[in-house]
Structure 1
Amino acid sequence: MDAATIRRLVAEGRYEFSKHAEREREADMILTTELEEALKRSEIIEDYPGDPRGPSCLVLGFSGQRPIHAVCGLRQDPEELFLITVYDPSKRPEHWMEHYRRRRR
């Protein structure tokens, strides 16, 4: 999966939330429009090729100045972006550095 595929699928409205992603999105009060804006301009910051649920990646995008992280997988037939989790990393600054691009060790 690459950032261009993520952007395309979001622009086409071809994405689905896991129950966990929907709960996290609501808990962090991320509007769907904010998430779409962030994903359409996102970059992959971590890749998880060995994820037991299937290959996935962590992306960072911004809605205005608000950072948004999403862990994304790709479904086939039909091709669709699957959002495993979605959250606002600025609510957990102790976990992130370099403008939310790298985890603190």
Structure 2
Amino acid sequence: MNCDRHPEREGVASCIICGRILCEECRLKLGGKNYCERCADKLFRERVESGEEKRKGMGLGVKILIAILIILGILAVLSYLIYSVYLAPYYGSPENVLRILMNDPERIIRFLGTRIST
């Protein structure tokens, strides 16, 4: 049998979806299976569209988790900036600042209140 698109060429395979006879040039071998160009395009479009739907359908739980992670990241950056700009020059190491925060948090709050407001 000859190729459906090129009647002058000998067919070497058939499409597993539509059964068209394919020559070596027309045959698309994907995952060890033979496809014609039309069926491979259709299969590819279906997979892309189903992948887009999955990405569009991100659940509420995932969105909340992302929001929480972003907020925690912002808080971490702000904490580092407050420490490095205001607290480190006066109280030294982060361990010292944490010890003061655990024992006497009002001391740090008063200190920051006077520094940040001026």
Specify if TM > 0.5: no
The higher radius of gyration belongs to 2
> If each structure's helix is expressed as a fraction of its own residues, which one has the higher value?
2
More relative contact order in 1 or in 2 (CA 8 Å, sep 6+)? 1
Report the TM range for the smaller structure's normalisation.
Answer: under 0.3
